[in-house]
Amino acid sequence: MAKPLELVNVEDLTICDSTAQMITKAREDGVELFFDRANAMKACPIGEKSACCKHCSMGPCRMNVNSPYDRVGVCGATVDTILARNFGRMVAAGTAAHTDHGMAMLELFRDVINGKVKDFAIKDPMKLYEVATSLEIPTEGRELKEVAMDLYHELERTYTQVDGEIPMVKRVPKKTLELWRQAGIVPRGAMREIMEMMHRTAIGVDQDYKNITQQISRTALADGWGGSMVSTDISDILFGTPSPVEIEVDMGVLKEDRVNIIVHGHEPILLEAMMISAADPALKQMAVDAGAKGINLVGMCCSGLDVMSRHGLPHAGNFSSTEAVLVTGAVDAMTVDIQCIKQDLKRVADFYDTPFITTNYRAKIEGALHIQLDEHDPLGCTEEIIIKAISRFKTRKKPVRIPRKTVKGVHGFSYEYINYMLGGSFRGSFTPLNDNIINGRIRGVAGVVGCTNPRSKQDYSHVELVKELIRNDVLVLQTGCSQMALAKAGLTGPGAAALAGPGLAEVCETVGMPPILGLGACVDNSRILIAASEMVRVGGLGDCLADLPAAGCAPEWMSEKAIAIGHYFVASGVYVVFGHTFPMTKGTQFEKYLFEGLENEGFGKWAFSDDPKEMARLMIAHIDEKRAALGIDK
């Protein structure tokens, strides 16, 4: 780097104490982390507002963000066309990520059924029957394998179908589905939608921002009600449907006297296979022989959340802490699969002599060791990683400094469990939730989800927003890095009820649930869609998703996946607030369309705020508006 950086105070970068300690240590060690790079490289003021286009070589063309209708691109594209095309490509990329992940899960499912994969099995046959029934696949008197194969073929349409409607629309409330049909946005298959989105946003194709938005909605819905939903359901069938489990989080879960292995990424396969290998007596013995007390497997980011919710595995932190955790010097191997894996992890890992291993052919990192995880022999890969970690433990060269902090919390609230919890019987129902919303004890429901971002103080907005929501009797559902922010802040334990408003606190006490429910990884936002559909089905809260007193927020988002998620909620009828930044130029027609116009057409709408108190205010105002429309505002 040319000139020394003016370093930002650590307290301004994060409220996560462990990460703060490790940022300080990294600076002492002379290791650059992404927090400092974000400060050194200011965001491009035009790109930040999404006002540039590089879709052809007549450009790149950039608009005047202060006076957006001053000029057009060389081809004549207006700022609205440019904004909509950029937004559409973000949604296409995000949808591609979730659907490619989902398709990998579906292929694993197929190979488990046909016996080609032997290290995994169907762990939750009941869920398999439930999903099959929801898709009208006959189950009476049929062999599990037969039903499973039918289910596989049915779900494959989610991705590959070229015409018709994806299977999961059978779960969409009738009136919402009617609206989609009228608007022509029922997804056919994810591949088709992503392909068409890319085509329509190329130079000289679709140049009407409203028409582009139609395809944006269709593509995003192929994620939420398609790729992501299938991924969640298949993961539950193969690895078990989560139910509440107490978990320890934060960097203190690393242990100086153990072989610490971090698994970071998104598909549950790697971590599930690691768990099998870490329990192998021969490998355990090898660790003991190397002088360790044992093997300590720890998750990070979404794969961590996924497996944590199912098996209670400890979790070290979210996206903004993945470099910082390496700075402890205590990580004996970090292994990754896909998504949200910073290239820089390799350089930081090298500095601390930590083996850094990629495992998915889709996501190699220059210079990193690649050990391909073959679904047909997953343990071949995971055993090798563990052996590398043990040997690193034996030869640890640098001093180890682990932040002491650990926090306990309860996670793993699948839709099925919420149903059970509320109904108090195995086949419970959402009636008590609806009743409590109608009688006003619960004001509404909010989903607070998404990433952390080095351009905003890590975890701060997540925690402040959620506190404000529960204080106002709003029940909060969480996924992704946001869930981990609240977990580290100590708000996923029973103690959080003390911060809830009187109505919500009373319900929490009666039902025995916390006011903040952690649902899992980002693909598990589909669980929120299912829960919302169930609220409509039970009745009393309107007849489509847009009628519900509900709102969503990703206060510190950074990934294109977050934009895809945000938009599938908006297209489903939900009000969605994004924080810290938004790829939008103020004062444009496209902004007005996303922030107001869509709602007038019966969908949800987008909003933006960079202050958590204001985010909460917007969400609560929307919830109150919906309550008033339902006639339950007291």
Query: Cβ closer to ligand SF4: 124 or 206?
Result: 206
State the minimum distance, in angstroms, from the CB of residue 75 to ligand SF4: 3
Q: What is the DSSP letter of 245?
A: E
Cα–Cα nearest to 36, from 15, 2, 3, 6: 6
Binder of residue 626, out of ligand SF4, ligand XCC, none (CB less than 5 to 8 A by kind)? none
3-class DSSP string for 221-255: HHHHHHHHHHHHHHHHHHHCCCCCEEEEECHHHCC
Cis peptide before 60 (omega within 30 of 0): yes
What's the number of CA atoms in the CB half-sphere (13 Å) around residue 358?
19
The verdict on 448 binding ligand XCC (CB under 6 A) reads no
Number of residues that bind ligand XCC (CB under 6 A): 13
For residues 387-396, b (16+ Cβ closer than 10 Å) or e, as one string?
ebbbebbeee
The verdict on 58 binding ligand SF4 (CB under 6 A) reads yes
The verdict on 94 binding ligand XCC (CB under 6 A) reads no
Q: What are phi and psi of 478, to 5 degrees?
A: -135, 150
Return the amino acid letter for 111.
D
Answer left, alpha or beta for residue 30, where phi above 0 means left and psi between -120 and 50 means alpha: left
Q: Pattern of binders to ligand XCC over 285-324, x per CB under 6 A? A: ----------------xx---------------xx-----
The verdict on 561 binding ligand SF4 (CB under 6 A) reads no
Query: Cβ closer to ligand SF4: 48 or 111?
Result: 48
Question: CA 60 to CA 266: how far, in whole Å?
Answer: 34
Cα–Cα nearest to 268, from 458, 84, 487, 105: 105
Binder among 8, 47, 59, 350 for ligand SF4 (CB under 6 A): 59
Binder of residue 450, out of ligand SF4, ligand XCC, none (CB less than 5 to 8 A by kind)? ligand XCC
Return the amino acid letter for 531.
A
The verdict on 522 binding ligand XCC (CB under 6 A) reads yes
**In the range 461-480, which residues lie near ligand XCC by CB under 6 A?**
480
Q: What is the DSSP letter of 49?
A: G
Q: H or E segment at 420?
A: helix 415-423
Number of residues that bind ligand SF4 (CB under 6 A): 14
Binder of residue 55, out of ligand SF4, ligand XCC, none (CB less than 5 to 8 A by kind)? ligand SF4
Binder of residue 559, out of ligand XCC, ligand SF4, none (CB less than 5 to 8 A by kind)? ligand XCC
The verdict on 73 binding ligand SF4 (CB under 6 A) reads yes
The verdict on 224 binding ligand XCC (CB under 6 A) reads no
**Strand pairing of 407-411 and 245-249?**
antiparallel
Query: Cβ closer to ligand XCC: 382 or 559?
Result: 559
Binder of residue 302, out of ligand SF4, ligand XCC, none (CB less than 5 to 8 A by kind)? ligand XCC
Q: Which among 51-59, 183-191, 279-287, 527-535 is the span making contact with ligand SF4, rule CB under 6 A? A: 51-59
What's the number of CA atoms in the CB half-sphere (13 Å) around residue 430?
18
Q: Pattern of binders to ligand SF4 over 201-240, x per CB under 6 A? A: --x-------------------------------------
Q: How many CB atoms lie within 10 A of CB 493?
A: 15
First to last CA, the chain: 60
Binder among 8, 56, 198, 290 for ligand SF4 (CB under 6 A): 56
CA-based angle 140:125:275, to the nearest 5?
A: 170
Query: Cβ closer to ligand SF4: 75 or 183?
Result: 75
**In the range 339-358, which residues lie near ligand XCC by CB under 6 A?**
340
State the minimum distance, in angstroms, from the CB of residue 450 to ligand XCC: 5
Question: CA 271 to CA 91: how far, in whole Å?
Answer: 28
In the numeric block, the tokens 């999404």 are attached to 50
Query: Cβ closer to ligand SF4: 203 or 400?
Result: 203
Contacts of 454 (CB under 8 A, 6+ apart): 13, 34, 35, 37, 38, 320
Query: Cβ closer to ligand XCC: 217 or 318?
Result: 318
The verdict on 53 binding ligand SF4 (CB under 6 A) reads yes
Q: In this structure, is the dihedral angle defined by the CA atoms of residues 325, 32, 29 and 371, taken in order, positive or negative?
A: positive
Query: Cβ closer to ligand XCC: 62 or 561?
Result: 561
Q: What are phi and psi of 208, to 5 degrees?
A: -130, 110
State the minimum distance, in angstroms, from the CB of residue 581 to ligand SF4: 22
Contacts of 580 (CB under 8 A, 6+ apart): 453, 455, 456, 461, 555, 556, 557, 610
Residues that bind ligand XCC (CB under 6 A): 266, 301-302, 318-319, 340, 450-451, 480-481, 522, 559, 561
Binding site for ligand SF4 (CB under 6 A): 53-56, 58-61, 73-75, 77, 82, 203
